[in-house]
């Protein structure tokens, strides 16, 4: 089964175009190192919760939107090797590819696929 990295982050609405360019550039790097699919989504119907919610999880501020993204890999082994190369790739260094959002509020993790229909 595939392996998936999932991400959720707050992005200033004014940075949408810059964020999309950042994602397109990063997606090319991810695919160079084995990712089979990269999906970026921009919140459209993400309600504020009373106990938990996506906006609460990323400490969403005024004039920000939640993005939800995932990267699909053939396996965890390919993902682990890919991430090592991605982190060393000059195209992904902060001076060349600064994140157009507050990375300290990004939530991420790796997931084993248990159903894919």
Alpha carbon distance, N-terminus to C-terminus of the chain: 12
pLDDT at 43: 98
Give the pLDDT confidence of 22-72 residue by residue, as tens digits: 999 999 999 999 999 999 999 999 999 999 999 999 999 999 999 999 999
Residue 90 has pLDDT above 90, yes or no: yes
What percentage of the chain exceeds 70 in pLDDT?
A: 100
Residue-by-residue DSSP string for the chain: --EEEEEEEEEEGGGHHHHHHHHHHHHHHHHHTT-SEEEEEE-SS-PPPSS--HHHHTT--TTEEEEEEEEEES-HHHHHHHHHHHHH-GGGSTTTS--SS-GGG-EEEEEE-----
């Amino acid at each position: 089964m595939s392996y998936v990295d999932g991400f959720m982050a707050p992005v200033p609405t004014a940075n949408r175009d810059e964020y999309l360019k950042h994602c397109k550039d990063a997606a090319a790097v991810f695919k160079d190192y084995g990712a089979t699919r990269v999906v970026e989504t921009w919140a459209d119907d993400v309600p504020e919760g009373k106990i938990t919610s996506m906006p609460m999880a990323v400490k969403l501020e005024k004039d920000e939107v939640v993005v939800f993204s995932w990267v699909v890999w053939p396996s965890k082994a390919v993902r682990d090797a890919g991430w090592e190369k991605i982190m060393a790739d000059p195209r992904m260094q902060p001076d060349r590819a600064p994140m157009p959002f507050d990375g300290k509020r990004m939530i991420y993790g790796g997931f084993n696929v248990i159903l894919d229909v």
